Amino acid sequence: MARLLKLITKYGDSGLALVLALGVGVLALADIAGTNDVNGAILLTLGLVATASLRNRAREEETDTQIQDVLRNTRDMLTTMPGRLDELQSTVEGTRRALAESSYVRVLHGSEVGEALEEARRRTDRWVFKGGTGTFVRAVTLPECIEQARRKKHVLHVELEIIDPANETLCAAYTQFRRSLSDQPDATGEIWTVDRTRKESYATVLAACWYRQRYTFVTIDVGLSSVMTTFRWDMTPHQLIITQEDPQFPAMMLEPGKYYYEIYSRELMASLRQARQVPIDRKHIELSDEPTVDEARRLFADLDLPLPQAFTDRNVTEIIKKALQARNPYQ
């Protein structure tokens, strides 16, 4: 019904003129309609035709106006198209760059973390570490990197940034952080206390001095940070591995030459420069193969890092043992 009404509205006048002309023509041929009737019908038909013509003209003008509007809009759109294309190209380029960078950030899970660190130790002559007390560095990183350097007869440069053991407040904050992760003994058989935190950091400094004195091809820089980090950063010329204190969490590995590796590398260098430097390259008290308590005390005093007065000889012995016989806390 709606379609029929639409047709009648659109073609009604033309159809009526056609029907009228045909009807009058038939009546005239049959001598039913007279001359006056035919003339009147002709005038009426012409009026209907004129009305249809005027309506078509109006529709044509409306169509022309719409076409002009479309052409004007198209012209305006084409005028602004280059700018929009530049914006689109910029967006596409940014997306492509982000995807390229993300492809060089690899997430490591479970045993992949240990395997990546082991591979890094096998093929490097430079190691940069930033983290807590450096327990894993003493237990695994330093001994294995030095052994690889001895085997390949190349130099080794190590940079370590750990928390300052003289900063008791900082050590307490680090202890609270570790205890919040787990209040159970780790693989070393110990729980985290303020005393343990301080001993672990002192042990890392002692280990750095001991290795530095024994291997002339090894250079070691140690910085003591006044702030703690919840991450462990291990960087070599071939990769940067970012882990967390809890080995259950995944790690990230970044490759050099890419954006994230470069900015994190700058961050580590800036952080180490701001840390309190331990002058281990200075001439100090010589340490025995198995350092004595007196040697350790005098060494720390010479480093401007004296041990707390509350530390007994037994405590110092623990520091020496942690320095040279460290156990892997993540094994």
> What sign has the CA pseudo-torsion 125, 154, 143, 307?
negative
Q: Does residue 164 register a pLDDT over 70?
A: yes
Looking at 93-102, 158-167, 189-198, 241-250, which range is the least confident one? 93-102
125 and 237 together in one domain? yes
52 and 133 together in one domain? no
CA distances from 120 to 86, 111, 185 (A): 43, 14, 28
Q: Which has the closest alpha carbon to 119: 84, 144, 98?
A: 144
| Domain extent at residue 16 | 2-79
Q: Is residue 114 part of a domain?
A: yes
56 and 189 together in one domain? no
The pLDDT of residue 65 is: 75
Q: Is residue 330 part of a domain?
A: no
Q: Give 254's contacts (C-beta < 8 A, 6+ positions apart).
A: 104, 105, 106, 239, 240, 242, 260, 261, 264
CA distance linking residue 225 with residue 244, whole number of Å: 18
The tally of domains found in the chain comes to 2
22 and 110 together in one domain? no
Mean pLDDT of 4-29: 54
Give whichever of 22-26, 184-188, 189-193 has the largest mean pLDDT.
189-193
251 and 190 together in one domain? yes
Using 50, 70 and 90 to split pLDDT, how confident is the model at 259? confident
171 and 68 together in one domain? no
64 and 152 together in one domain? no
First to last CA, the chain: 84
CA distance linking residue 202 with residue 193, whole number of Å: 14
Q: How many CB atoms lie within 10 A of CB 163?
A: 26
Q: What angle do CA 115, 148, 159 make, to 5 degrees?
A: 80
Mean pLDDT of 63-90: 69
On whether the CB atoms of residues 252 and 119 are closer than 8 A, the answer is: no
Using 50, 70 and 90 to split pLDDT, how confident is the model at 286? confident
Backbone angles phi, psi at 105, to 5 degrees: -110, 105
pTM, entire model = 0.69
